[in-house]
Structure 1
Amino acid sequence: MTSAPAEPLGTRIRRLRADRGWTQRELAEPGYDRGFLAKVETGSRPPSEEMLAYLAERLGLTVDELRFGRPPGVADKLRASLDEGYRDLEQGRVASATDQFASVAKQAAGYHLDDVECYARFCQAEVKWQLFDVEGAQRALEHASELAEAAPPWLRAMIVHRWSGCRYLAGDAGAAIARVEAELALRPADPDAELCLLSALIHPLMEMGGLHRARRAAEDGRRLARAASRPDFVARFHRQASQVWQATGRADRAEQDLTEACRLFASVGFDRDAARCRWARGYLLRRLGRLEEARAELTSARDQLAAIGSEEGVAGATVELAEVRLRQGAPAEAASLITEVWPLLTRDVESLGEATGLRGQIAQSRGDLETATDLLREAVDIQTRASLHGAAVSTSLRLGDVLRQRGHLDEAIEAYRRGLDSAAGTDT
């Protein structure tokens, strides 16, 4: 496909007429006379909306196909091209996907296909998301939002979902949740759109201590998933909901959700998201104390995400793997793993807080309690500023233990009190 032809409307009408071997009289009559059509073709008289509709019908086109020079069926072809490019992106062919998205965005703009152009802009934001350019992804999503009114409900919801993710990674969990809840308050009629928005709520709510609200979102999403038509949206929901079941002691249900999510992502060729499911399963196994299984799953997930070029996934899976290795008595390897991804962590406040706390634990395991204190304090500060209440509670408790071990009892009490303050921001 080529870009939309830059030709005046009258010239286009003359070309289409000539392509069919018709005279001006054959096209114009009986609705209009030949002389009036001649003026339209030369550009001396613009056609009325009624005449444009008449000519389009005579030529076997829609009004917009005639007005903007769209080849019949071009919108469907461009959407299919974006779907193909998105699979390329999920499978690590980033350069190919990037070129595809740019080409479609240009063509869609030329053909005045706002819904397709919105989809192309969203796909361009997904490239930045995969490359862990959080600020760039947010800007690209806001660019896509300019055309969101023309987009289908599922796409509008996915733009909000990703925008919320960007704000969360930047440390603004409150804004991430507020945007999604505002969109849900509009009561989207499309089950895919509503499921997408509920999925976006679960992780930020969990990390801010809103377990009760997260569970309600998971239960609502479970009902919606039966009516949803997009397997990737259903898979994304299962992956997010697994966190709720882990937190409420339903590890069996969490593992079932992750298995189903992985199956659905694989069925549509979404390798990146399938690998993220393995990362999530590794986290679950670590929580269950099955450390060797967790190590194998996280190593595999990290390698797959690295091969695909998903830097955000690599950073998160590596930090989680470092915690497993620390628990297995390999602090030097844990420290090396964190150092390996440290440059990436400044873009993800949650992983940065977790990794800083892990560095504190590594220092503690080596007997360097002063360094451990400094690092754990820094981790608590990061987590508190980002409203990550659950993480701040556990880090504050560890900090208090280290301070008590050093004999700094007043400071230890203050650390425990800070943990209690963070706990007050959670629900059960």
Structure 2
Amino acid sequence: MTYRGEMTEPLGARIRRLRTGRGWTQRELAEPGYDRGFLAKVETGSRPPSEEMLAYLAQRLGLTVDELRFGRPPGIAEELRAALDEGYRDLEQGRIAAAEERFASVGKQAAGYHLDDIECYARFCQAEVKWQLFDVSGAQEALEHAEELAGAAPPWLRAMIVHRWSGCRFQRGDAGTAIARLEAELAAGPADPDAELCLLTALIHPLVEMGGLHRARRAAEAGRRLARAATRPDFVARFHRQASQVWQATGHADRADEDLTEACRLFASAGFDRDAARCRWARGYLLRHLGRLDEARAELTAARDQLAAIGADEGFAGATLELAEVRLRQGAAAEAASLVSAVRDLLSRDVESLGEATSLLGQVAQAQGDPETATRLLREAFEIQTTASLHGAAVSTALRLGDALRHRGHLDEAIEAYRRGLESAAGAE
């Protein structure tokens, strides 16, 4: 993709080109502020123009100073920004290669035009490609590259970079750092409602998974108030999707379903297919916890297929894992094990998913009459979850491990497993 403009043209040559393009002589451009001879030296590059002269020439040529200085065609910033927005929709709809090419092209041109805010946005979009492909390390590195230019970025973009960066840290098992970064940004006072809503949204999931339900609920309640003033529908939609997790965890299933329905509507209206499919995944999770297993299976199957079709590896792996949980509860242990095995490599990139998958395989082994394997896998899952401070999941795994040990007659080990589960519960808040 090529945009207007010549980014390597010397300033003097650019002034000459713009002048002759208008049919003006050097005298006509220079006077009355400057003489023709001085302009001639500027055009040949033998004398640099002062800031005052540059402003004068820009005004005479009908340009801004930076348009003249950097060779920016009028309107190029809006054109490049619109190209990134279009590329982001490509990414959401599964056209990953086209999106990645667009992001790289716009980023290069923005750098040439010294448009730091747009280059930052392009770098963020490149990180989103890594995120969608479940390359957590690559996404974090790209986000840190984007953050080098965050000082020029609008508040919503700075917040979204922190949002994703914290998500990467959480997926790599560093929930404490993820939460600390988000809370520090919030304490600093985000510049607008969109930015604050974005940061609160990012805070909810790690708090819930660490067992901090009271803090997560405060974040959700604050986010609900902010959503009324926010201007970005995608940010409001992400908030509703995450808030549903709080209401489900606190026993408000109807409220959770309302939030998911609204999130899906907003994402669909924006053409964000990836995020709309993730809402279906979240709704399948809700339905499983409500015991509506047939409905959960249908919703999760649809979500998994949609996420696979658009190349969203992280969502595909998560929806498949959740579908495996449903099939296990429906008595199809072998199918559950097969589903997990099919995405095991993807799940290993995310500590939370790896712990959940390992626990699920332990439950499968128990259902298939292999208590020794079940015990080993449940121990492994518990260690993964406690190391990552995933207290809520660790408590559930400890209970399963204790029960498995008790049924095998290992009472002392069962008591120890229950004790460690209680310690995880105590560490939740």
TM over 0.5: yes
Amino acid aligned to 1:387: S
Q: Which one of the candidate residues 320, 323, 326 is aligned to 1:321?
A: 323
Per-residue CA shift, 1:301-354, capped at 9, x if unaligned? 000000000000011001100000000000010000000000111101111101
Partner of 2:116: 114
Q: TM-score, normalised by structure 1?
A: 0.99
Alpha carbons of structure 1 residues 354 and 3: separation in structure 2 relative to 1, 3 Å: farther
Partner of 1:273: 275
Per-residue CA shift, 1:166-200, capped at 9, x if unaligned? 01111111111111111111101210000000000
Q: Which one of the candidate residues 338, 346, 349 is aligned to 1:347?
A: 349
Per-residue CA shift, 1:132-175, capped at 9, x if unaligned? 00000000000000000000000000000000010111111111
In the alignment, the residues of structure 1 paired with residue 427 and residue 237 of structure 2 have an alpha-carbon distance, to the nearest angstrom, of 30
User: Aligned runs of 1:61-210 on 2, under 5 Å?
Assistant: 61-210=63-212
In the alignment, the residues of structure 2 paired with residue 278 and residue 174 of structure 1 have an alpha-carbon distance, to the nearest angstrom, of 28
- Decide whether the 8 Å contact of 1:4 with 1:107 is kept in 2: no
In the alignment, the residues of structure 2 paired with residue 402 and residue 179 of structure 1 have an alpha-carbon distance, to the nearest angstrom, of 38
- Decide whether the 8 Å contact of 2:5 with 2:73 is kept in 1: no
- Decide whether the 8 Å contact of 1:326 with 1:362 is kept in 2: yes
- Decide whether the 8 Å contact of 2:5 with 2:72 is kept in 1: no
Indicate the SS of the match to 2:343.
helix
Partner of 1:289: 291
- Decide whether the 8 Å contact of 1:2 with 1:107 is kept in 2: no
CA RMSD of aligned residues (A): 0.7
Give the deviation of 1:4 after TM superposition: 3.6
Per-residue CA shift, 1:244-274, capped at 9, x if unaligned? 0001111000000000000000010000000
In the alignment, the residues of structure 1 paired with residue 93 and residue 10 of structure 2 have an alpha-carbon distance, to the nearest angstrom, of 42
Amino acid aligned to 1:334: A
In the alignment, the residues of structure 1 paired with residue 84 and residue 45 of structure 2 have an alpha-carbon distance, to the nearest angstrom, of 36
Partner of 2:33: 31
Give the deviation of 1:366 after TM superposition: 1.4
Is it true that 1:222 corresponds to 2:224 in the alignment? yes
Per-residue CA shift, 1:36-61, capped at 9, x if unaligned? 11111111111000000000000000
Per-residue CA shift, 1:4-46, capped at 9, x if unaligned? 4311111100110000000111101111111111111111111
Q: TM-score, normalised by structure 2?
A: 0.99
Amino acid aligned to 1:185: A
In the alignment, the residues of structure 2 paired with residue 205 and residue 389 of structure 1 have an alpha-carbon distance, to the nearest angstrom, of 10
Indicate the SS of the match to 1:189.
coil
In the alignment, the residues of structure 2 paired with residue 324 and residue 4 of structure 1 have an alpha-carbon distance, to the nearest angstrom, of 57
- Decide whether the 8 Å contact of 1:171 with 1:386 is kept in 2: yes
Q: Which one of the candidate residues 57, 60, 78 is aligned to 1:55?
A: 57
Alpha carbons of structure 1 residues 4 and 145: separation in structure 2 relative to 1, 3 Å: farther
Amino acid aligned to 2:287: L
Alpha carbons of structure 1 residues 216 and 4: separation in structure 2 relative to 1, 3 Å: farther
The answer to which of 268-277 and 173-182 deviates more is 173-182
Give the deviation of 1:2 after TM superposition: 4.5
Equivalent pairs: percent with the same residue?
84
The answer to which of 301-310 and 174-183 deviates more is 174-183
Q: Unpaired segments of 5 or more residues in structure 2?
A: none
In the alignment, the residues of structure 1 paired with residue 191 and residue 163 of structure 2 have an alpha-carbon distance, to the nearest angstrom, of 17
- Decide whether the 8 Å contact of 1:3 with 1:110 is kept in 2: no
Per-residue CA shift, 1:95-128, capped at 9, x if unaligned? 0001100100010000000000000000000000
Amino acid aligned to 1:320: E
Partner of 1:334: 336
Partner of 2:397: 395
In the alignment, the residues of structure 2 paired with residue 75 and residue 354 of structure 1 have an alpha-carbon distance, to the nearest angstrom, of 45
Partner of 1:381: 383
- Decide whether the 8 Å contact of 1:234 with 1:261 is kept in 2: yes
Q: Unpaired segments of 5 or more residues in structure 1?
A: none
Per-residue CA shift, 1:43-84, capped at 9, x if unaligned? 111100000000000000000000000000000000000000
In the alignment, the residues of structure 2 paired with residue 312 and residue 188 of structure 1 have an alpha-carbon distance, to the nearest angstrom, of 29
Aligned length: 427
